[in-house]
Amino acid sequence: MASITQDFSLLFLVLLIIFTSISSTTSTPILGVTIHHHPQSTTPEHIAAAITRRKIAAVRLIDPDPNLIRAFSYSSVSLLLSIPNTLVSSLASNRSNAAVWLYTHVVPFYPRANISVISVGSDVLSSSSDLADDILPAIRNVHVALHELGIRKISVSTTFSLIPLLTSAFPPSSAEFEEPVNDVVVRPLLEFLDEANSSFLVNIHPYDLYRLNYEIVLGFALFQESPYNFMDDSTTGVRYQNLFDTMIDAVLSAMAVAGHENIPLIITETGWPSSPGTNEENNANQVFAEMYLKGLTKHLKSGVGTPLKKDGVSEVYIYEMFDRERGQGNSSGLTRQWGIFYPNLTSKYELDLSGSSRISESKGLLTILSVCLMMAVLDLLV
């Protein structure tokens, strides 16, 4: 009997060590794509089938089409829905307007469609500063309307762009939210997100920051490994190997200064343009776009996170699935394109966009090990 007890204790200790190592494993973010619009020649059903076939875990729908939401019913694809900026003021003024939007875009499909997050507006502050006072009331009305419908698993937030949001992006340790946006919008929003267990949503485009700062090396922005592709934060002593991580840590630093560093961070947009918007954008091309996207996906799948957040961000959405229609450019006739798929749903690049959180993989391993433990105990008792 003593021998059995010793054997069981040893087995339990070994499995406990394995469990601990698995549970402490950093998770890889959910990888998704943004759909701003889609070609008229492509049906919602074909788009949903292409997403599912490529094992893409999440889709962000800007100005979502109910038919496209319906197409993702009974799939495992997570949906992030954005409410158009034009509706923010009406949502803020009357909760019934929030209920009307939900009855059109959520109620008919949820939970058959896996809607996880609603963003009230997309980059609202950059498009209209007049909406600053309306953002939080609109978010609260959508949040309360969801709860009145008995829906509590869909979180509500809004989306920002990084560059106008922060005082600076480098060094990350010096970043803070700009005033007066910080006091008027960001700090009250962070308090709400903390209470509601929601996420902070931000668009991160290294291409835009690279264009604004001549000191940034192109390879550093494109995830290219080189002895010279790094930047050091002199305050913290942290060395950064790519621009994407520096921008994320800048947001995290600003959140920490605001007292809410533990709120999950979702990157709602990131990418690299495959064609320029002006004649001066020589680095907006398909070659560099592919380099960025391959470097990004490799980095995210590594699970290393960022220097300030080892478990990384929770979700990352590549911008965007399809190119814009021609004729939507500026006076020069150029249209900056970001699409990673052609209208016929073939890929522009050889990218592996499949990805699931390592947390789910850990759960699977824990289940297997639990079964092994039970079998081992039975063997010892026989």
pLDDT at residue 27, rounded to an integer: 67
Given a cut of 60, is residue 8 above it in pLDDT?
Answer: no
> Would you place residue 379 in the very low, low, confident or very high pLDDT band (cuts 50, 70, 90)?
low
Give domain status of residue 266, yes or no. yes
Tens digits of residue pLDDT in 294-325: 999 999 999 999 999 998 899 999 999 999 86
DSSP-derived letter for residue 43 is -
pLDDT band at 9 (very low <50, low <70, confident <90, very high): very low
Q: Are residues 190 and 117 in the same domain?
A: yes
Q: How confident is the model at residue 333 (pLDDT cuts 50, 70, 90)?
A: low
State the chain's mean pLDDT as an integer.
86
**Do 371 and 258 have their domain in common?**
no
pLDDT in tens, 256-290: 999 999 999 999 999 999 999 888 899 999 999 99
Domain tally, the chain: 2
- pLDDT reported for residue 177: 96
pTM score, whole prediction = 0.86
pLDDT tens track for 213-262: 888 999 999 999 888 889 999 899 999 999 999 999 999 999 999 999 99
pLDDT grade for 82, boundaries at 50, 70 and 90: very high
17: pLDDT strictly greater than 70 = no
Q: pLDDT class for 356, splitting at 50, 70, 90?
A: low
N- to C-terminal Cα distance for the chain?
Answer: 12
The answer to whether residues 291 and 378 belong to one domain is no
pLDDT tier at 355, thresholds 50, 70, 90: low
Percent of the chain predicted with pLDDT > 70: 83
pLDDT cut 90: percent of the chain above it: 71
Residue 256 lies in a domain: yes
Instruction: Identify the band that residue 201 occupies on the pLDDT scale cut at 50, 70 and 90.
Output: very high
Asked if residue 343 and residue 366 are part of one domain, the reply reads: no
**CB-based burial, 18-27: b 16+ in 10 Å, e otherwise:** ebeebeeeeb
Kindly give, in sequence order, each residue whose CB lies less than 8 Å from that of residue 55, ignoring residues fewer than 6 positions away: 353, 354, 355
Residue 45 counted as domain residue: yes
Residues 340, 191 within the same domain: yes
Tokens of 40: 């008229």
Q: In this model, does residue 14 exceed pLDDT 50? A: no
Angle at 301 between CA 193 and CA 308, to 5 degrees: 50
Residue 252 and residue 325 in one domain: yes
pLDDT at 305: 92
Task: Average the pLDDT over 290-294 and give the result.
Answer: 97
Give the structural domain span for 108. 31-348
Mean pLDDT of 196-206: 97
State the Cα angle at 128 between 126 and 131, rounded to 5°. Answer: 115
User: Is residue 26 a part of any domain in this protein?
Assistant: no
Q: Verify that 303 and 342 share a domain, yes or no.
A: yes
| 25, part of any domain | no
Assess contact for 123 and 162: CB atoms under 8 A. no
CB 144 within 8 A of CB 95: yes
* pLDDT tens by residue, 85-109: 999 999 999 999 999 999 999 999 9
Q: Are residues 260 and 366 in the same domain?
A: no
- The answer on 247 and 149 residing in a single domain is yes
| The predicted structure's pLDDT at residue 156 | 98
Q: Are residues 373 and 234 in the same domain?
A: no
Q: Spell out where 111-245 has E strands.
A: 114-122, 155-161, 200-203, 231-232, 239-240
CATH number of the domain that 336 lies in? 3.20.20.80
Average pLDDT of the residues in 366-373: 41
CA atoms within 13 A on the CB side of 166: 28
Per-residue pLDDT averaged across 347-353, rounded?
93
Euclidean distance between CA atoms 270 and 207, whole angstroms: 9
Q: Within a domain: residue 24?
A: no
pLDDT tens digit sequence for 57-80: 999 999 899 999 999 999 999 999
Whether 116 and 92 have beta carbons less than 8 Å apart is answered as no
Q: Are residues 251 and 372 in the same domain?
A: no
In a domain, 252, yes or no: yes
Q: 97 or 125: which carries more pLDDT confidence?
A: 97
pLDDT at 126: 83
Asked if 68 and 148 sit in the same domain, the reply is yes
- Any residues with CB less than 8 A from the CB of 352 and at least 6 apart, and which? 297, 301
Asked whether residue 339 is assigned to any structural domain, the reply reads yes
